[in-house]
Amino acid sequence: MPNSHIPVIAIDGPTASGKGTVAHKVADKLGFHFLDSGSLYRLTALSAIRRGADLHDEHAIAKLAEHLQVSFVGGEILMASEHVTQAIRAEEVGNLASKIAALPTVRHALTGLQLGFRKAPGLVADGRDMGTVIFPNAQLKVFLTASVEARAQRRYKQLIDKGFSANIKDLLSDLQARDDRDTHRAIAPLVPAEGAHFLDTSHMTADEAIEQVLKWYAQLK
């Protein structure tokens, strides 16, 4: 690969583990580009909902994924020129995103898009298969996790702070179901990459987690 010399930090983990916050801040501190790969599935889900697509038509959804126009600007996610950071965080979108992420044609359609984010001076990519499938030669791989209870509390606070209604018991159930789908799907299941550093953030602050990832990266040099 012509850009294989460009450093990549791959941060994988389950929903609401804090990997997005950690990855974004690490990218900021290093001056690297940032890829929230999970948002690509959420964007595909949002596009499918808005267009009234047949959610059982895998190829139609893959076509939507293939033509996504996405950019990450200052913590905001843009689809074409529209700010959709809030819209893709709705639970309906998240649940559909988890389901379509198990579709092989959708994952294939998004692979090239994700690889395109690897640009100098470097990339921090967060998701579920960054270190196992998309960037298996990443210089640093991190598997960031937290207990399902801690993740449910974080997601609850996140949704309430953004003005969405939420129920902690429903969130806990949804996260457990999403974890089961993500870890047991036939294609690119959520598993730690070979050689990945484990980071359990159940009892850590975001700053502590960020500092640990930066420390691991500094040790590579």
Show binding-site residues for ATP.
13-21
Q: Which amino acid is at 142?
A: V
DSSP string, the chain: -TTTTS-EEEEE--TTSSHHHHHHHHHHHHT-EEEEHHHHHHHHHHHHHHHT--TT-HHHHHHHHHT--EEEETTEEEETTEE-TTGGGSHHHHHHHHHHTT-HHHHHHHHHHHHTT--TT-EEEEESSIIIII-TT-SEEEEEE--HHHHHHHHHHHHHHTT----HHHHHHHHHHHHHHHHH-SSS-S-PPTTPEEEE-TT--HHHHHHHHHHHHHTT-
As a whole number of angstroms, the distance between CA 208 and CA 130 comes to 22
Is the omega angle on the peptide bond into residue 121 within 30 degrees of 0, that is, cis? Answer: yes
Strands 8-12 and 140-145: parallel
Residues in the annotated binding site: 13-21
CB 123 within 8 A of CB 32: yes
